[in-house]
Amino acid sequence: MIVVPTLSLASIQGFPTRKDSERLYKSRPHHVLLQCSRVSDFNASEATSMTCGQKRRCGCYDMHNVLVPYSVAWSWQKSIVKERKTLVEINQDLCDSLIVLQHHPVYTLGTGSSEDYLNFDLKDAPYDVYRTERGGEVTYHGPGQLVMYPILNLRYHEMDLHWYFRALEEVVIRVLFSTFSIKASRVEGLTGVWVGDQKLAAIGIRVSQWIAYHGLALNVTTDLTPFQKIVPCGIHDRGVGSIKGLLREHSLSKGAGMHHMEDSQLLDITHKSLVKEFSEVFQVELQQKAISELEFSKG
């Protein structure tokens, strides 16, 4: 079944592993649908040209070693976006946000995603299925996959969605090369980050009043088996991969021996690099935020 969250977020402690939700077999109408089909080269200098003097602050909610139910994270994002829109109206939107976490196993679809890309009956789905307001087709989230949800006011960066896609891709490309000597690339006409025919990072966003949310998911130690139940991102002739899988398959100069690491170590290393490269590409000053500082509302 496709589910939509109805929970009230009072705390982010003690997550349940699954959440009972009402059924939804038809997508809700949304006033914006964002998908990117044209690929342009990302110029790293563009990421720095947007700022003059002091970097923009960005609060970082780091739960990279925590499994967060998708419904909780989705509602959390929407509550932050709602608050940020209010701040924009009074010219007080002074800080962006970044959420880093992992999810319990779940499939998510974009606003216009086709259910033809599901290789299972929705009434007997292996995991919960959510239809969201992001662009793009179906994907899988699960343990071992690092998910980054930047909530950025693009007025303070670049009011260009193609630039934003390329910037998110650039973060992952830099991480793979600087940390693991993996040479990743973009594929013309597609979003995401690729090594050969394997997609390591998927990207799907929504932008409302120039505030961007949703984000990217990078397979680090992910069990890729659940991807076999879908056509990932609606692409039939390409597969998915993970950092762990590539390190196991290839002897890479800086990555030599890393495939013997514990999964938790590999996740920690990747997370540290992701956060660093994100702050450099987007030229923000990250400030660690405690989860208790958040005030939740209904998504």
Q: In the sheet that 139-141 helps form, which strands lie side by side, from edge to edge?
A: 22-23, 2-4, 129-131, 106-109, 139-141
- 233: annotated active-site residue: yes
Closest CA to 125 of 241, 36, 3: 3
Q: How far apart are CA 138 and CA 107, in angstroms?
A: 7
3-state helix, strand, coil in the chain (%, to 5): 30, 25, 40
Q: How far apart are CA 87 and CA 89, in angstroms?
A: 5
Closest CA to 173 of 273, 51, 101, 264: 273
Closest CA to 270 of 192, 179, 200, 203: 179
* Residue in 36, 58, 60, 233 annotated catalytic: 233
Dig out the tokens for 53 from the structure. 């003097």
Tell me the C-alpha to C-alpha distance, in Å, between residue 81 and each of 75, 160, 208: 10, 19, 9
Closest CA to 70 of 23, 121, 15: 15
Provide the annotated active-site residues. 233
